């Protein structure tokens, strides 16, 4: 499937989870096995330098990160919301529109020998991906690039990220 066909299967949900936000609902894409196969193929193809690990962001990033890691034959690291990982973690707070949130990774997941691609469903303001970047840096790992299914270009999230960004579908 081409990018326009994939784009047609993303549902816009206005005013979710709060007024003024147009939520990009990817569940129709996941329900269509051809669409999912195809988008994972495209996202993997855009990874030009193979990393040792993919770092997937809680929670929809896990869906894409897991499928990509399996195809690319690299490890998968989960960047989870605070308090979910059982062992010792690095922790990074970041700003949301209202308030803050925290992402964590296991200290044992990454080292200075790792090269990483960070994966998520949507790049919006970039705060989440920036926090994931700082977690990788805390572990000494090098971020090679980012892979997003969707980029909301008008929010200019790429300004917060200094490695190359690959996004399949842009708004
Ligand atoms: P940000 O930190 O602003 O780049 O937000 C990125 C994170 O929030 C991603 O993990 C997305 O899953 C989620 N997100 C932000 N905006 C949207 C949106 N309009 N539709 C769906 N998910 C979004």
The Cα–Cα gap between 169 and 39 comes to 10
Q: Token digits for 148?
A: 């997003």
Distance 151 CA to ligand 1 centre (A): 9
Residues 48-96: tens digit of each pLDDT: 999 999 999 999 999 999 999 999 999 999 999 999 999 999 999 999 8
Q: Residue 97: what pLDDT?
A: 73
Annotation marks residue 11 as catalytic: no
What does the pLDDT look like over 24-34, one tens digit per residue?
A: 999 999 999 99
Contact 76, 67 (CB under 8 A): no
User: What is the predicted pLDDT for the residue at 69?
Assistant: 98
Distance 43 CA to ligand 1 centre (A): 18
Nearest CA to ligand 1 atom 3: 125
Domains of the chain: 48-170 (3.40.50.2020)
User: Does 55 sit behind a cis peptide bond, omega within 30 degrees of 0 on the bond before it?
Assistant: no
pLDDT by residue (tens digit) across 142-159? Answer: 999 999 999 999 999 999
């Amino acid at each position: 499937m081409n990018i326009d066909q994939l784009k047609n299967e993303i549902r816009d949900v206005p005013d979710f989870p709060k007024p003024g936000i147009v939520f990009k609902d990817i569940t129709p894409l996941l329900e269509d096995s051809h669409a999912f196969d195809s988008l994972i193929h495209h996202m993997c193809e855009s990874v030009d330098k193979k990393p040792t690990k993919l770092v997937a962001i809680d929670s929809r990033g896990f869906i894409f990160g897991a499928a990509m890691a399996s195809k690319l034959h690299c490890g998968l690291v989960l960047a989870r919301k605070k308090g979910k990982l059982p062992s010792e973690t690095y922790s990074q707070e970041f700003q949301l529109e209202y308030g803050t949130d925290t992402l964590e990774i296991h200290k044992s997941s990454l080292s200075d020998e790792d090269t990483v691609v960070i994966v998520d469903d949507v790049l919006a303001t970039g705060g989440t991906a920036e926090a994931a970047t700082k977690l990788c840096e805390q572990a000494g790992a090098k971020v090679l690039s980012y892979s997003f299914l969707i980029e909301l270009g008008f929010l200019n999230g790429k300004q917060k990220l200094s490695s190359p960004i690959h996004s399949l579908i842009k708004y």
